[in-house]
Amino acid sequence: MARTINIGLIGCGGLGRVHADCVKRIDGAQMIAFCDTNESAAQKLSDDFGGKYATTSADKVLSDREIDAIYICTRHDSHASLAIAAARAGKQILIEKPLALNLNDCEGIAREVEASGVHLMPAFKMRYYPLVQKAHEFIPAPLIVVGQMMDNRWGDDHWAQDPVQGGANVHSQGCHTTDIMRYFAGSEPKTIWATGGTFTHPGHKCIDQCVASIQFASGRVGSWIQGDAAQGQFTSKFFFELFGPDGRSVQLYDRLKKATFFDGQNTWTEERTDEEGFYLENVEFISALKEDRAPALNAQDGIQATRIVLAADRAIRTGEIQHL
Ligand SMILES: NC(=O)c1ccc[n+]([C@@H]2O[C@H](COP(=O)([O-])OP(=O)(O)OC[C@H]3O[C@@H](n4cnc5c(N)ncnc54)[C@H](O)[C@@H]3O)[C@@H](O)[C@H]2O)c1
């Protein structure tokens, strides 16, 4: 597509604003329609980002022939229905994580995207941090991958804590960590065992802390910690560590803005001043559309990330190793 990519945003909350701000910084793309069930949220974002219109009707945006791509930035319970409708309308799709909270919904989205011949990119922003990519190049086939995403305790009334809209920390955010662990391992998970429970929100339906061991098809292994017990003040919320077969290691910390590399003899640290994941994922999606190619990630990546999270949940509840 040589011309400007026109984008319609569905879900004008916190992440809708983040994506609108990223698109504004990218040449050859513009957000022209802003949709939210909350009319004033849609209007505010449309006013702030120079939209052509604000609406409460997703159908209006999906049937707008001027629009090439839809950004789905709603809560998790509406991801599947909106993504399926967007695919049927022939729109390219960027969808916030997780693809959906259950595999039926994830697979339903993937089927519709394939049948419609559109592209769907799940928004796993961590893939695009330059130091994440550098760590992967430094140790492309690690023996051991460590992935940790540990937040401060989520408020009981936070929507993401709701079992239907959000799924709580492990279901809502675990897909970020499991996606990156697949990426670093360069292999799909084969078996997973996990323990944990509902520690920070006693009596809640959802599991909020998870400690898991993953074996990949390559035979290499991963250790995954997810929850909202407290942010590590040295590691920050996001922490990954790779151990290579040739005596190398790398740690990513400070929200993936710092990485310390060890090549077996020398050690050095690289730093970035800003978090670039959101912006660079938008660059990737828009570039892919302009170049008529598939974006770096697709619905299968979204399915796999959720599949691992769900398997960990089953392992915690049953005490049994899960085979994927
Ligand atoms: N990648 C990241 O780092 C990251 C960080 C935070 C949130 N997220 C994801 O972004 C998404 C949105 O999260 P948020 O924090 O912006 O939530 P939010 O509650 O701030 O915004 C969601 C908006 O969607 C609207 N909405 C709900 N159902 C709708 C529907 N059917 N049609 C139109 N609008 C609808 C709501 O009114 C609300 O304004 C979630 O998937 C969340 O997991 C990603």
Digit-coded pLDDT (tens) for 156-189 = 999 999 999 999 999 999 999 999 999 999 999 9
Distance, CA of 75 to chain centre: 13
Q: Encode pLDDT of 280-295 as tens digits.
A: 999 999 999 999 999 9
Under 8 Å between Cβ of 112 and 90: no
Give 264 Cα–ligand 1 centroid separation in angstroms: 44
Across-strand partners of 221? Answer: 144, 215
Q: Kindly list the protein residues whose Cβ atom lies closer than 6 A to any atom of ligand 1.
A: 10-16, 35-38, 41, 58, 73-76, 78, 96-97, 123, 125, 159, 172
Give 278 Cα–ligand 1 centroid separation in angstroms: 15
Give 257 Cα–ligand 1 centroid separation in angstroms: 25
Tokens read off for 63: 């049937």
What is the radius of gyration, based on Cα positions, of the chain? 20
Beta strands in the chain (DSSP E): 5-10, 29-35, 53-55, 69-72, 92-96, 120-123, 144-150, 189-197, 209-216, 221-227, 238-243, 249-253, 258-262, 267-271, 322-323
Give 265 Cα–ligand 1 centroid separation in angstroms: 46
Measured between alpha carbons, how far is 314 from 220 in angstroms, rounded to an integer?
Answer: 22
DSSP 8-class letter at 250: E
Tell me: pLDDT of 62 over 70. Answer: yes
pLDDT category at 37 given cuts 50, 70, 90 is very high
Q: Encode pLDDT of 196-219 as tens digits.
A: 999 999 999 999 999 999 999 999
Torsion, Cα 295 175 134 249, to 10 degrees, reads: -150
Mean pLDDT, the chain, as a whole number? Answer: 97
Under 8 Å between Cβ of 59 and 43: no
Domain residues of the chain, as ranges? 5-125+278-297, 126-275+307-323
Choice from 10, 12, 15, 281 to test ligand 1 binding pocket (greatest atom count within 8 A of CB): 15
Which atom of ligand 1 lies at the shortest distance from residue 79's CA?
41
37 phi and psi angles, rounded to 5 deg: -65, -20
The mean per-residue pLDDT over the stretch 120-137 comes to 98
241 phi and psi angles, rounded to 5 deg: -145, 135
What topology is assigned to 5-125+278-297 in CATH?
Rossmann fold (3.40.50)
Note the pLDDT of residue 2. Answer: 55
Tell me: pLDDT of 79 over 60. Answer: yes
Give residue for tokens 């009319």.
39
Give 190 Cα–ligand 1 centroid separation in angstroms: 32
Which amino acid is residue 22, in one-letter code? Answer: C
Question: Ligand 1: which residue has its CA nearest to atom 43?
Answer: 97
Measured between alpha carbons, how far is 41 from 12 in angstroms, rounded to an integer?
Answer: 6
Tokens read off for 133: 């990519």
Is 126-275+307-323 in CATH node 3.30.360.10?
yes
Note the pLDDT of residue 1. Answer: 63
Query: Measured in Å, how far apart are the chain's first and last C-alpha atoms?
Result: 38
Q: Encode pLDDT of 230-243 as tens digits.
A: 999 999 999 999 99
Question: Ligand 1: which residue has its CA nearest to atom 33?
Answer: 36
